[in-house]
Structure 1
Amino acid sequence: MTTKFDTVDAYLASFPEATRTVLERVRGVLHDQIPGAGERISYDIPTVTAAGKPVVYFAGWKNHVSVYPLPDGDEAFAADLAPYRSGPGTAKFPLRKPIPYELIGRIAALLAEQRAP
């Protein structure tokens, strides 16, 4: 059975320290790139919102962290994202390798731009 969390803080606290540190930095990067960002738990994972609507989700796993969905972008963005793409709408970032926080920021900025009214 999946553990249900009421807050993003409770979700993050459920992870080992090394994973939690990565997730907290991902959280900060996402918030930095989404104007007026808020957050909540949706689909049992952290969700960063704008104007109360979901923009991007992130999650921790045993061996990686994930960010969903993936925005459209130019060829350079697609090439940078390719090593991390896992299916059409998911990026997986292995915990055993350096996390590309700048790329995660680009994902968030593009999603915010594409979801803007």
Structure 2
Amino acid sequence: MQHASVDDYIAGQPAAVQSVLQEIRRNIHESIPGAGEMISYGIPTVTLDGHYVVYFAAWKHHISIYPVPRGDDTLNAELEPYLAGKGTLKFVLAKPIPYGLIGRVAAQLAAEGPAKNKNGETDA
């Protein structure tokens, strides 16, 4: 199902997951002043200056955050238990969600700047 907006995406999730997604969204926006948002690849995407910064998505048993920041060793050590692939963080819904950590991920991704595609060009 294609969602028209982040609000629409969140509204389409189970009630218990909606509150988790709203809190993740709030933490990301608090960590990236001036951020925008859109749906990209069918999931909520937070943007800054027209470039994507971070994606988040709800799954049956977890929330995923993409991509994983690269530039902060201390943060990367804290993220280790949540790594679920080269560029994915996985937060299990049955456990407490570390909202502050997700906000720090978003802030670090914004500080690292826009992602580069395989041709070295900035993705929009």
Give SS of 2:38's match. strand
- TM-score norm. by structure 2 comes to 0.88
Aligned residue pairs: how many? 114
CA RMSD between the two structures: 1.1
Give the gaps of 5 or more residues in structure 2: 115-124
Partner of residue 81 from structure 1, selected from 79, 99, 103:
79
In terms of mean alpha carbon deviation, does 68-77 or 99-108 score higher?
68-77
Q: Which runs of 5+ in 1 are unaligned?
A: none
Pick from 97, 100, 108: which aligns with 2:98?
100
Report 1:1-117 matches (<5 A): 3-115=1-113
- Tell me which stretches of 4 or more aligned residues in structure 1 moved more than 4 Å: none
In structure 2, C-alpha distance between the alignment counterparts of 1:28 and 1:58, rounded to whole Å: 12
CA distance in structure 1 between the partners assigned to 2:7 and 2:59 by the alignment: 16
CA–CA distance in structure 1, aligned partners of residues 63 and 21 of structure 2: 7
SS at match of 1:6: coil
Deviation at 1:15, TM superposition (A): 0.6
State the alpha-carbon separation in 1 of the partners of residues 36 and 85 from structure 2. Answer: 27
How far the C-alpha of 1:34 sits from its partner, in A, is 1.1
Shift of 1:35: 2.2
